[in-house]
Structure 1
Amino acid sequence: MTRCAEDLAALIGSLLQRDFSSSLTKTWKGRKVGFVDPKIWYIQVREGIWEVADSSDALNLITDDGGKVIQDNSLISYDELKFECLDGLDQVWNHDFAHLFQGLLRSCRDPKVFSRTRSRKENHTTREKYYEAKNVLRKNARVEEYEKAFREYEVDIIAGPLDSQLGSITAVAGHPSATVHGSH
């Protein structure tokens, strides 16, 4: 996370050993931004209460500044990322963070909490299945969804609500992402 676009360009530049400062145009002119379908990419406000993100301010800002907006871009949903009929991301994360879950649960003072939640967070994924799941998820998210969306919608950027699972799927796909306040 950075404070501004300039800091983000510097961070990415240092990671990739390139200078991105000339890419900071301070305008949307000539950019095509695809917004994901808000009926699919919703925000959970509270347990069981969902809200469709209002992106009208961002849409207006982009178009007023010379950018083009393509709405309702279709991408794979979080619920569709399955591996062997189970939640693929949970399988990968449970493997990656199993030792942390166990440590956290052991630190609970209430033994009932530990016994109730332990079975849900135990790692039952073999190393081979873990790598297979990661590869399947990356292929599904990157090749079959993101790259297809960039090509079909002819967009430079795909935008969606921060509070949705879009960031998780972007990470699985291996694409860079940034969080930007809607008024920028």
Structure 2
Amino acid sequence: QSLMSKCAWSDHPALPWLPRVLPSYSLVCLVCLLLPHAWSIPNTDVCRSPLFQTHWFSRGGSVKSLNNALAVHTNLRLCPAYNGVSSCCQESFEPEQSRHFNYWKQILTAKLERIKKNKMGTLGMKRREAYNVATDQERDLYDRALELYSQVLTSSRHRECFSALLTFVAGEICFFFGE
């Protein structure tokens, strides 16, 4: 059975043409809605991601903006692996990129610090009356929670994740536009 025949309204006696016309009508509507926009989007706006709208244009002579189009650069310091690769970044944008990268590094580091403090608070539960009257199952869950804190806070365990997140953020800041 087709999707149209499964719909209750497709059997309505006043709408026998609907299953045949709806798909092509939908396509025509979609084309009519999108066609005016096709000519209004300049082809040089490949670097205009909505994520970085504040960096689309140079403000007052500031060069802390993205290129208007993909370009190959050869002296990128922060991400030398992207030298010789088309991207929207330019060398003069690197201080801005560094500022945002450091912001995310600070955010992720602060999250780990909050987890450490939370673990300390959880450890403090052992000194409370609630721990002394806990069932064996509750104590097992408590011990499992502490074990999981230790896994997250072991630098060898979170280092790879932390590095991957920062690498992702660095790429998102500028280089995801590349070919």
Question: What TM-score does the superposition give when structure 1 sets the normalisation length?
Answer: 0.25
Question: What TM-score does the superposition give when structure 2 sets the normalisation length?
Answer: 0.26
Return the index of the structure with the highest Cα Rg: 2
Larger fraction in helix:
2
Larger fraction in strand:
1
Of the two structures, which has the highest relative contact order with CA contacts closer than 8 Å and spacing of 6 or more?
1
